[in-house]
Amino acid sequence: MADCEKPSSCLIVIFGASGDLTRRKLIPSLYQLFVAGQLPEHFAVLGVSRSPMSDDDFRDRLHSFFGQYDDKQWHDFAKCLYYHVADSTKAEAYGGLKTRMAELSQSHGTGVNVLLYLSIAPHLYEPTLTQIGAAGMVAEGKHWCSLDRNNPPWQRVIIEKPFGSDPLSASRLNDVVASVFDEQSIYRIDHYLGKETVQNLLVFRFANTIFEPIWNRKYIDHVQVTAAESVGIEGRGSYYDSPSGGAMRDMIQSHLLQVMAVVAMEPPITMCADDIRVEKTKILAACRTPSMDDVPKIAVRGQYGPGQFGGKVVTGYREEEGTRSDSQTDTYTALQVFIDTWRWGGVPFYLRSGKSMTKKLTEVVVTFKPTPHCLFLPRMTGSHSALPNQLVINVQPDEGIRLRFEGKVPGMGMDIKPVIMDFDYNEQFGASPPQAYATLLLDAIRGDQTLYKHREEIKHCWRVVQPVLDYWQDHPQDDLPNYAAGTWGPSASDIMMARDGRKWHNP
């Protein structure tokens, strides 16, 4: 979201650097930025974790994960990678850590600018933040403004999700991080907001006048936001079956409500972070809080059992390592949300996410209302009946936008069939979108919070989903697992849609 000007020099410190996220996402994203010439002129990356490792071991571990790369570019990048053995939750670890950071700052000329990334288990967030504050590692930019008002030094923190496991824990975590960092230095990451197509929603909506007049309850029947994965929990059974796990917490609360807010928000005054986040927060604040009586009608819980995918037998969730044989954890969730505003009053937003489904897919589907009177129905010669117009925004894997409308088939009679108008990123621009983490890391280095979540957004997202979680806890479901791996989820989800006279978009 930021401009192309090079960001200021900084030291990037990754807590939990021996973990999978660092190897799969963070370092490849930083390398992508390095190759593109978008990292600061002076930078260094310091990985921090308890696992014994030397700098060279750390570099070799990361190097082995890369596929195609340029030897010289990797060599130049790797010279800026370092590793420090420390337990981030222990006070005694910070003397040596601060010394190492000072040495790298001196040798690489990064100054006092520091980006701290918490790529650690959620239960380690609070003790780590507390120790960072106690060690005096954060001297907020406001304290240094007299040195350089145009470019004050900074220290920022990126916090991975999940941000709490319920409203109370999320509020507590917000208070803890706020005791160490100012709000403008806190970056609560949501990698879905870094995806190119989600960002393009802002341009799509606010740079084109043809959609804004019909982007409301008068013309839109409903909106679907889907995030489907074809894989299961992939060895994350101990986390997914914990109080912080499940599709409602892991996906709906963390990601899909954010995507919905971008779809539904009012035009911001400017494209600056504060103005965009204000409008998103208004949408989330306007989301109706479900009552206990509402939950059975607006929410569906699913869990995958054994099935088949790609001709192979797939293990059921309860047979995965780290899960309980009587687990009530939702690997699939569908939720109906109403936004009580003038623009969206009465328009349902359907959010769904699931694992071990038919295909990997993230999309937003806007279904418009049918014409008030179908002129062509009596004269149609084909089997097709006119369908409402649909706008399909593919977030992944095939990034693009698809508009479906009706057209006449050439020939005698009045045979009407759907016509598809496609906008494909790869075909149109000749380039693949950057990794979401690359976009978000660069924004954090630049100090752009547009694609990061504000604490008020976190609060309202939990307010929407917690009543459903409470109901599910009080009402165990005896039919779990209730969908086979490799399908589109439980039949109860289709029934929920059919009750409203609608159906899911299953491409």
Residues with catalytic annotation? 255
In 330-450, alpha helices (H): 425-429, 436-446
Q: Which of 467, 393, 53 is closest to 215 using CA atoms? A: 393
CA 169 to chain centre: 20
d(CA 153, CA 465): 39
d(CA 252, CA 228): 12
In 390-435, alpha helices (H): 425-429
Q: Which of 300, 233, 219, 223 is closest to 264 using CA atoms? A: 223
113 CB-near residues (< 8 Å, 6+ apart): 8, 9, 10, 11, 153, 154, 155
CA distances from 449 to 23, 26, 256, 462, 493 (A): 24, 18, 19, 21, 35
For residue 117, is it left (φ>0), alpha (ψ between -120 and 50) or beta?
beta
| CB neighbour class for 262 (10 Å; exposed up to 12, middle 13-18, buried from 19) | buried
The two structure tokens encoding residue 323? 């899960």
Q: Write the DSSP assignment of 283-302 as a string of letters.
A: HHHHBPPPPTTTHHHHEEEE
